[in-house]
A and B are shown apart, each in its own frame.
Chain A
Amino acid sequence: MKNQTLRTLAQIAVATSLATASIAATAAQTNTDGNVVVKAGKVITLTGETIENGTIVIEGGRVTAVGKDIKYPWDAEVKEFPNAVAFPGFVEGLSNNGMDRANENIDVAAFLNVKDSIDPVSFYFEDALRAGITTINVQQGKDCVVGGRGYVVRPHGLTVERMTLRPDSGIVISAVPKRGKTRATQALALRQAFGGLRMYLEELVQEKKDGKDYATREALYQGREPDKDSVKGRPMGGNSWKVENLQMVPRWEIDEKQLPMLEVVEGKVPVYLYCDEPADVHTALKLANDNGFAKRTVLVLGPECWKAADLIAKSAMPVILTGSMKWTERDPVTGEETETFVPGVYAEKGIVFALQSGNSSAESLWYQAALCIGQGMSREAAMAAVTTIPAKIMGLEKRIGTIAPGSDGNVVIFSGDPLSVTSHVVKVFLDGNEVYDRATDTRMKHLSTGAQPANTASSAELIEEVHKHDDPVVEEEEKIDAGENKKDKDKGEHEEGDGHDHDDDKDGHHEGDGHDHDGDKQGN
């Protein structure tokens, strides 16, 4: 018996050492040590200077030096891009993508955490790299009253832990009516959420005073355990309202549903506060002021909220702009249409704003910034709104958004001006490791040229095969038949399983004109 155990242990040891060896070998091949020197024809640092023929030295995942003709270790791996532009990468100030589902059904769900929902292999992250985005603040969606906590991640890595730049990066509160609620019930639910927190805390204190240990027992029952930060009680922080004698309650005994809310009131976590319409802004600001988190609030605004710009400017809160950049409105009486360029209003009022790119990769951050310039905004302001400002909103300005000594080793190599439609992302380095290469991006190749990976249904070789029958010397009738049949077959495989069913007549489900085309781009 003992012998057997020993043998097993030995086997494990051998297996482990083999595994370690293979990991090390992979590391050597793909350079995952975070050490690299990037040279580019132009380095846009976003710290105020643009360096021609610049060099960026990244050691241990951090930028250690950037400049022209600077020294670097003799044995460093050097990547040279003499005709390309090095850029710190775009920063997505808030995104509801990359998750399984962005909303939970419960009104107040501060115990949720997007960590449990982020899907590291989601196409969204892959697409983000393609669009030159190096940092994403993933937050819950707006269909809630109080939502879960978000994570700031890099769009690369096989686990959420490897992707994470900052855990628990904020909490979501929504002034937008949750599905099934009106503005009034939403406002009520918001007030009740904080009122409920207050009542809960007061009750806890009272129980302690009465010498009851309900909270301790419940905490143990739920499997919670104290750690060194939570074993003791602390007086309640914050500056709006306080529950006296909260220090009597050890923090670990406070319910998971209520603790994040308490941290909000104490001003300890950033709050992403959603508003869709100007009317929501008032509700949102009042809530933030009444509950003491106004200084930690970032407003996430729908396009129409520009109408409340004065109110927002007075609040001095930074904002993240979602949705369309142009607000079109028709006068109900005269029928006259007026258009408002939304970011322009915020710029004019001196409000700090970041742009956000929603969920379409075609309308990514570069596109948002470029459109702003087209609408007359300065290049610096537009660029800042997709890089340094979102970084600052997250409190990560020292790490991301610029290429400077001390910042994370994130470098995106663009073939030209990052905001030009003709430029594309050539390579991406995250923390000094190469994580994207356009040359090996088969999906990009498919999107840009239609090329299919080899041996798939409609790869180029098979199409060639079909075109053999296009030879004009073939007898005409035959040619048509051969070409069409072969093509249909090919096409059939290509379309298989995408749910686009043209022969639903046979199952007799036809009702009037009920032929819906998914993906209909016809307009009208």
Chain B
Amino acid sequence: MLFTVLSLALGSGGLAAMPVPAEATTVFADRIYTAAGDVIENGMVVITDGKISAIGVAPNGERKEGELHVAAITPGMVDLSSRNTNMQTVEETTEVSAQYHVADSLDLFDRSWGRQLKSGVTTVVANPYDNNCIGGFSIALKTGGEPSLEARTVKADVALRGSFGSQPSGKNHPARRRPTDFYSRRPTTRMGVEWVWRKSMYDALYAEGNKDRAFDGVEQLLAALNGEVPVFAQAWATQDIRTAVFLKEEMAKEGKTKMRLIIDAGAEAWRELDFLTRTGTAVVLPPFASDGRTFDNAFYARDCAAKLHGAGVPIALSAHNDSSPGHSLGDQAAFARSGGLSFDAALEAVTISPARIMGIDRRVGSIEVGKDGDLVLWNGTPFELTSSVVGVVLEGELVVDPR
């Protein structure tokens, strides 16, 4: 075993060179972007039993045959809006289905998990499909490993998912023509969607003090109102973002001051910096759109991520289940950079920031000792289109080998 103690490592946070252990996964790189505040030049990461056990400067000397050495390493990326769930993942017989868990309807054998993994996304939050106002509980899980929920779950019931805007009412219509259809119902408009949200929240508030008024899903709604789980709501356009934020403020006036709100796909969030900062709302951004046009006619300015970051709004980027070259999560970070987001902020927006937003940062999101051994290996500087993900390590296992 190579056991070379080196002179002091300069310029890398005082990390000393260290020996390479035998029974572990060790990856070397010209640069390691830890997303924990430092960049290690000529570094190495050691993973033992699935967890990162050591990070440091690689020993000098000849590279050994078969040694895994890449241009750059970042933490495994985290996508909070994985969007590989489909219509089968939301119970559409009712508009509010807070008592359901998307975990029960996930197909872990679906190919999209593997594609996401290959593109460097190691952790995702899978959400109920946004055809309901309040769809149910989301789950944070790994994109690879043994295909069982037990093995893959990072955190169950990580957020209560819902949706504003035109999507939840999209299928509904007034009771005309075919009144027997269960889509002949409310809401059929944006305001109807908002009404359903508000009504379910007030119903939950009344039920809290009065057991007779309990209904299916009341516990889950109360958990969200009491801040035990965040509310994770899709709202693309400015009017929908406002609706969500106003609802949060309204609940605060009713005494539910701990309610947490995360906006998903907030394309137009750049218009609402004041609202977002004053309510401490986090925003997950949709994929880049070259002409700025996104769902619900929301205009997605290219500097959206940069503006939000500048205002102190916690942000995360998302690829919406597109893992093709030029569209994957790493590329979203690149496009956010083109809109003025700094490299460090772009790195955080696909790693530690989403992990913090969802409260899973103890396990994932950065390269730190004790965290999951999830790494992305790059053939050049990350978040440039001229570089790509060449390897992926998931909990210590080299699932995509760059060699």
Could you list 16 A-B pairs, sorted by A, with CB under 8 Å? Answer: A360-B290, A362-B290, A363-B290, A374-B385, A376-B379, A421-B384, A450-B271, A450-B299, A450-B301, A450-B303, A495-B297, A502-B190, A512-B178, A522-B320, A523-B83, A524-B84
CA distance A521 to B84 in the complex (A): 13
Q: Are the C-beta atoms of B189 and A373 separated by less than 8 Å? A: no
In the complex, which of the residues B85, B189, B190, B385 has the most CB atoms of chain A within 10 Å of its own CB atom?
A: B385
Q: Are the C-beta atoms of A510 and B173 separated by less than 8 Å? A: yes
A334 at the interface (CB under 8 A from B): no
Q: Given known contacts A487-B238, A522-B320, what 14 new A-B pairs fall within 8 Å (CB)?
A: A371-B326, A373-B380, A421-B338, A421-B384, A424-B338, A505-B174, A508-B176, A512-B183, A517-B167, A517-B170, A521-B289, A521-B295, A523-B321, A523-B322
Q: Are the C-beta atoms of B324 and A326 separated by less than 8 Å? A: yes
Interface SS of B by simple majority: loop
CA distance A363 to B383 in the complex (A): 16
Neighbour of A513 across the interface among B183, B190, B297, CB < 8 A: B183
Binary interface profile of A, 358-392, with partner B (CB < 8 Å = 1, else 0)?
00111100010011011110010000000000000
Q: Are the C-beta atoms of B287 and A522 separated by less than 8 Å? A: no
CA distance A427 to B84 in the complex (A): 42
Given A420-B386, A510-B176, A523-B322, A488:B239 Cβ within 8 A: yes
Q: Are the C-beta atoms of A374 and B325 separated by less than 8 Å? A: yes
B278 at the interface (CB under 8 A from A): yes
Binary interface profile of A, 479-519, with partner B (CB < 8 Å = 1, else 0)?
01001100110010011001010110100101111010101
Binary interface profile of B, 269-285, with partner A (CB < 8 Å = 1, else 0)?
01100110010000000
Residue ID in chain B nearest A510 by CB atoms: B173
Q: Are the C-beta atoms of A421 and B321 separated by less than 8 Å? A: no
Q: Are the C-beta atoms of B171 and A513 separated by less than 8 Å? A: yes
In the complex, which of the residues A360, A362, A363, A422 has the most CB atoms of chain B within 10 Å of its own CB atom?
A: A422
B335 at the interface (CB under 8 A from A): yes
CA distance A519 to B170 in the complex (A): 14
Residues on B with C-beta less than 8 A from A324 are 324
CA distance A363 to B291 in the complex (A): 12
Residues on B with C-beta less than 8 A from A523 are 83, 320-322
Residue ID in chain B nearest A520 by CB atoms: B295
CA distance A361 to B292 in the complex (A): 12
Residues on B with C-beta less than 8 A from A494 are 297
Residue ID in chain A nearest B287 by CB atoms: A521
B142 at the interface (CB under 8 A from A): no
Q: Chain A's nearest CB lies how many Å from the CB of B132? A: 14
B97 at the interface (CB under 8 A from A): no
B161 at the interface (CB under 8 A from A): no
Residues 313-363 (chain A) with a chain B CB within 8 angstroms: 324-326, 337, 360-363
Residue ID in chain B nearest A448 by CB atoms: B302
CA distance A58 to B102 in the complex (A): 64
Residues on A with C-beta less than 8 A from B174 are 505, 510
Residues on B with C-beta less than 8 A from A512 are 178, 181, 183
Binary interface profile of B, 25-42, with partner A (CB < 8 Å = 1, else 0)?
000000000000000000
B286 at the interface (CB under 8 A from A): yes
Residues on A with C-beta less than 8 A from B274 are 467, 470
A454 at the interface (CB under 8 A from B): no
A449 at the interface (CB under 8 A from B): yes
CA distance A374 to B328 in the complex (A): 13
Residues on B with C-beta less than 8 A from A379 are 386
Residues on A with C-beta less than 8 A from B87 are 524
Residues 384-437 (chain A) with a chain B CB within 8 angstroms: 419-422, 424
The 5 closest A-B pairs by CB, nearest first: A362-B290, A450-B301, A370-B385, A374-B388, A510-B173
Residues on A with C-beta less than 8 A from B338 are 421-422, 424
Residue ID in chain A nearest B389 by CB atoms: A374
A244 at the interface (CB under 8 A from B): no
Residues on A with C-beta less than 8 A from B227 are none
Q: Chain A's nearest CB lies how many Å from the CB of B332? A: 11
A447 at the interface (CB under 8 A from B): yes
Residue ID in chain B nearest A374 by CB atoms: B388
A463 at the interface (CB under 8 A from B): yes
Binary interface profile of B, 363-385, with partner A (CB < 8 Å = 1, else 0)?
00000000000000001100111
Residues on A with C-beta less than 8 A from B286 are 521
Residue ID in chain B nearest A328 by CB atoms: B324
Residues on B with C-beta less than 8 A from A467 are 274
Neighbour of B295 across the interface among A472, A498, A519, CB < 8 A: A519
B242 at the interface (CB under 8 A from A): yes
Q: Are the C-beta atoms of A421 and B334 separated by less than 8 Å? A: yes
Residues on B with C-beta less than 8 A from A522 are 83, 130, 167, 295, 320
Q: Chain B's nearest CB lies how many Å from the CB of A506? A: 9
Residues 326-348 (chain B) with a chain A CB within 8 angstroms: 326, 334-335, 337-340
B294 at the interface (CB under 8 A from A): yes
Q: Chain A's nearest CB lies how many Å from the CB of B71? A: 11
CA distance A376 to B320 in the complex (A): 26
CA distance A406 to B340 in the complex (A): 38
CA distance A379 to B380 in the complex (A): 13
Q: Are the C-beta atoms of A421 and B383 separated by less than 8 Å? A: yes
In the complex, which of the residues A446, A472, A521 has the most CB atoms of chain B within 10 Å of its own CB atom?
A: A521
Q: Chain A's nearest CB lies how many Å from the CB of B258? A: 19
B211 at the interface (CB under 8 A from A): no
Residue ID in chain B nearest A471 by CB atoms: B274
B111 at the interface (CB under 8 A from A): yes
Residues 116-130 (chain B) with a chain A CB within 8 angstroms: 129-130
Residues on A with C-beta less than 8 A from B173 are 505, 510, 515
Q: Are the C-beta atoms of A421 and B292 separated by less than 8 Å? A: no
CA distance A510 to B169 in the complex (A): 13
CA distance A522 to B87 in the complex (A): 12
Residues on A with C-beta less than 8 A from B129 are 524
CA distance A498 to B296 in the complex (A): 12
Residues 230-280 (chain B) with a chain A CB within 8 angstroms: 237-239, 242-243, 246, 249, 253, 270-271, 274-275, 278
Neighbour of A374 across the interface among B84, B85, B340, B379, CB < 8 A: B379
B60 at the interface (CB under 8 A from A): no
A476 at the interface (CB under 8 A from B): yes
B288 at the interface (CB under 8 A from A): yes
B387 at the interface (CB under 8 A from A): yes
Q: Chain A's nearest CB lies how many Å from the CB of B248? A: 12
Q: Are the C-beta atoms of B384 and A480 separated by less than 8 Å? A: no
Q: Are the C-beta atoms of B386 and A373 separated by less than 8 Å? A: yes
Residue ID in chain B nearest A476 by CB atoms: B253
